[in-house]
Amino acid sequence: MKPVDPRLLRYAGAARGFLAASALIGVVQTAVTIAFAWLLTDAITGAIAGRDVTSSLLWLLVAALLRGLLIAASDAAGTRAAAKTGMQLRAALVAAVGKLGPGWLAQRNQTELAVTAGHGLEALDAYFARYIPQLVLTVIATPVLVAVMWWQDWPSGLTAVITLPLIPLFLILIGMATRTVQTRQWQTLQRLAARFADTVQGLSTLRLFGRDRRAADRIEVTADEYRRETMKVLRFSFLSGFAMELLASIAVALIAVSVGFRLLSGDLTLEVGLFVLLLAPEAFLPIRQVGVQFHAAAEGVAATEDVFAVLDAAGERTRMRERRTDAAGIAVESPDNRETVLQVDPGSEGSLVVAGLRVRDLPPVSFAAAPGTITVIEGPSGSGKSSLFAALRGAVEFEGTASYAGTDLRELAPSAWLAWAGQAPGLTRGTVAANVTLGDPEPDADRVRAALDDACAETIDPALELGVQGAGLSGGQAQRVAVARALYRQASASDRVLALDEPSSALDPETEDRLWRSLREKADAGATILLVSHRRTAREIADQIVELGVRV
């Protein structure tokens, strides 16, 4: 683990500010430490000599208060920096996930990402409030204090120079041993959270098949594994602390023994000897604390590394997009699918051009869809109909080209050009109106009513409260609300492409016929509509039919 990852300074401005503030506080703390040791030495030697030490004691009190204020300021600055850094990294993480797209997100465990962005980044408090300040003091205070000791008494300074490197050496060795344990602990926590979330989501199915008890037992096993990993980390932490304290105590004892013998022999004055003895523990203190706080900060650092991996991936994706030549709008005939291709200007507003689009090992697809038309996508199960829609909305990676109004879809956010309803309604808890207007900062009640009517859901009350995952509606009603959501979105920007995946699979023939007529009216009004359907009746409203082949 790097003491300070350069990526932290690059992605979080608050970290850069805190590092500069810690350096400033460290310089002042170093000066106050030296002054405190000198004032205490002067007060003790003065009292022994019978001098008036009132002024020294007063200045000693001021130095002690100033030192306490500096420590408090460092803690407060660290806490604020941890909060700001966490906010900045969370915002950067959300933006990076948006750049990477739904396809990347679908391949990741979303619960693990949530744990990283939540609990993981909250653990940065120990890293900023305790680890970084001690690391800065190690860089600033330790060399200065050793130099002052050398200046006052070079044998003591030489002893410090010889013994001091042993502490970071042992810290590195112990850190290498504990790194694997700490990584395993963090991964176990992520696995525990993911397993719990999956179990809760599928609890009804598990209970139906009598597997709920086994799922609970697996969670218990993972929780016990996390407990064991945590105890291992604690054991290594105590071992590290013991090693740091032992080495520092031995080093200070060597200096003290040397000073004591030279005081007895008269080779060293009491004033210099006492001053050096007061500085010696302070010189070793920051590096000892780095070893102690290393383990407390490890969880937050592990979380940032996961965040940095996502941010780096997003940065690489952006660079690849910048290097990619825009080849959108060049339509080609594909022998693997039979289609009626419209003559479309690739750069015209609202036009969608797909050329040789291939998802995984599915046959390539080519077609063009223009405003005012309905394109029906047909094909047997497994031929890639839903995969085609997933590629268009950025949910999966694809080869070939796809452009909207002359712009590569990889460069566009799906929300900017697409109004989509999939086979799963994807409703959320709340009112029907809230589900229809999802993503609209200024909902329009009249447009909600119109969208429900066009989706043949005129009997559904927009104010109806739904439960989790749209509980409270039948399958057909939920499907119509999902279609209404896509219609509402398309109505808010008429140049959006309306893409519906099997919108009538749960509808009766009469309702389906009404839905087809509604879509035909939308197309005649200028909408660009893509329709995946296994119903032969969809052909009656189609301007072109794209029939996908079987899997190769």
Contact 393, 499 (CB under 8 A): yes
Question: Does 113 score more than 80 pLDDT?
Answer: no
Q: For residue 321, what pLDDT is reported?
A: 61
Q: What is the pLDDT of residues 298-329, one digit of tens each?
A: 667 777 777 888 888 877 777 766 665 443 33
pLDDT confidence of 485, banded at 50, 70, 90? very high
> Measured between alpha carbons, how far is 362 from 398 in angstroms, rounded to an integer?
10
Model confidence at 156: pLDDT above 50: yes
214-224 pLDDT, tens per residue? 888 888 888 88
The span from the CA of 158 to the CA of 469, in Å, is 70
**Could you give the CA distance from residue 383 to residue 549 in angstroms, rounded to a whole number?**
6
Show the 3-state SS of 55-124: HHHHHHHHHHHHHHHHHHHHHHHHHHHHHHHHHHHHHHHHHHHHHHHHHHHHCCCHHHHHHHHHHHHHCH
The span from the CA of 184 to the CA of 12, in Å, is 26
**Mean predicted confidence (pLDDT) in 418-437:** 87
Looking at residues 80-85, what average pLDDT do you find? 84
Separation of alpha carbons 408 and 448, rounded Å: 31
Name 378's bridge partners: 547
CB environment 219-247: b (16+ within 10 A), e (fewer): beebeebbeebeebbeebbeebbebbeeb
Span 379-414, pLDDT tens digits: 888 788 888 888 888 877 788 888 898 888 888 888
The predicted structure's pLDDT at residue 348: 57
Question: What percent of the chain is predicted at pLDDT more than 70?
Answer: 88
Would you say residue 435 has pLDDT above 80? yes
pLDDT tens per residue across span 491-531: 888 788 999 988 888 788 888 899 999 999 999 988 899 99
pLDDT of residue 552: 40
Q: Which of 85, 86, 105 is nearest to 96 (CA)?
A: 105
pLDDT band at 189 (very low <50, low <70, confident <90, very high): confident
pLDDT, position 283: 85
pLDDT for the residue 131: 80
Helix, coil or strand: residue 354: strand
Quickly state the pLDDT bin for 250 (edges 50, 70, 90). confident
Segment 114-133 shows an average pLDDT of 77
pLDDT at 136 over 70: yes
More confident residue, 293 or 551: 293
Residue 296 is predicted with a pLDDT of: 64
Which contacts qualify for 156-163: CB closer than 8 Å, 24 or more apart?
Answer: 156/255, 156/258, 156/259, 156/276, 156/280, 159/251, 159/254, 159/255, 159/258, 160/251, 160/255, 160/280, 160/283, 160/284, 163/247, 163/250, 163/251, 163/254
Instruction: Give Cβ neighbours of residue 529 (< 8 Å, ≥ 6 apart).
Output: 369, 373, 374, 375, 497, 498, 499, 500, 519, 522, 523
Q: What is the model's pLDDT at position 331?
A: 36
Residue with tokens 């290594």: 236
Question: Residue 65's pLDDT band (boundaries 50, 70, 90)?
Answer: very high
The arithmetic mean of pLDDT across residues 330-345, rounded, is 42
- d(CA 293, CA 129) in angstroms, rounded, equals 10
The pLDDT value given to residue 158: 87
Tell me, rounded to whole angstroms, the distance of Cα 62 from its chain centroid.
Answer: 45
State the chain's mean pLDDT as an integer.
81
Taking each helix axis as running N to C, give the angle between helix 132-152 and helix 54-106, from 0 to 180 degrees, rounded to the nearest 10: 140
Helix ranges restricted to H, 107-211: 110-115, 121-122, 124-126, 132-152, 154-163, 166-201, 203-208
Which residue type, as a one-letter code, is found at position 31?
A
| Full set of structural domains in the chain with CATH | 6-323 (1.20.1560.10), 337-548 (3.40.50.300)
Query: Nearest CA to 365 among 74, 375, 374, 204?
Result: 375
- DSSP letters, 446-499, are HHHHHHHHHTT-TTS-TT-EE-GGGTTS-HHHHHHHHHHHHHHHHHHSTTSEEE
Highest mean pLDDT among 29-43, 231-245, 387-401: 29-43
